[in-house]
Amino acid sequence: MSAKRCFFLTAAALGAGLGAILWAPPSSWGAAKGKVFDDWAIECEGEGAGQHCFASQVHAPKGVASTRILKISIGYLGPKGEPAAVLFAPLGISVAAGIGFRIGDRPEQVLPIQQCRQEGCIASGALDAAAIAELTRTGKAVVGFLPFGSDKPVAVPLSMKGFAAAYRSLN
């Protein structure tokens, strides 16, 4: 793994609209849009049979809610309705480095950035059943990205408080 792609693990150790049309299976259509489970909220897009919902968490600097540092949404995506994470990072990050996502003690997953738009850069990746189980069991996850032109990564620890209940509500 190159030094740039390993940025997230180093930072984590030291600190101990979606870009495409997405489809969700009918099981998530009944999610309670707007319901909050501690540090996770349910967000839904579309209406009726076209609606898909996610458990989401937003990180912003204290006192500056209009400036988002990171947003993570976890739900069912793609034609098979598989669990996935969608990460929204700010503009000005290194596109080449991607966005790192580490769950518990599992190896870092570096997600390629799919596109950058006015609201930020978007990356997504599939989550297997073991990753979901680890998210609900260990309560540890960190997202990392590298600001463009910098060698100092940003690592954002996620609060997993309420994630298990929020994710269950999607079923």
Q: Tell me the HSE value of 120 on the side-chain side, using a 13 A CA sphere.
A: 21
For residues 23-33, average pLDDT:
42
pLDDT of residue 78: 78
pLDDT of residue 50: 73
In this structure, what are the phi and psi dihedrals at residue 50, rounded to the nearest 5 degrees?
Answer: -90, 5
Kind and range of the H or E run holding 71: strand 70-77
Contact 74, 84 (CB under 8 A): yes
pLDDT of residue 31: 55
pTM, rounded to two decimals: 0.79
Confidence band (pLDDT; 50, 70, 90) for 13?
very low
For residues 111-123, average pLDDT:
95
Confidence band (pLDDT; 50, 70, 90) for 65?
low
Question: Would you say residue 34 has pLDDT above 60?
Answer: yes
For residues 81-91, average pLDDT:
94
49 CB-contact burial (10 Å; exposed 0-12 / middle 13-18 / buried 19+)? exposed
pLDDT of residue 139: 80
User: For the chain, what is the mean pLDDT?
Assistant: 81
Domains (range + CATH), the chain? 7-169 (2.60.40.1880)
Tokens representing 90 are 């700010």
For residues 160-164, average pLDDT:
95
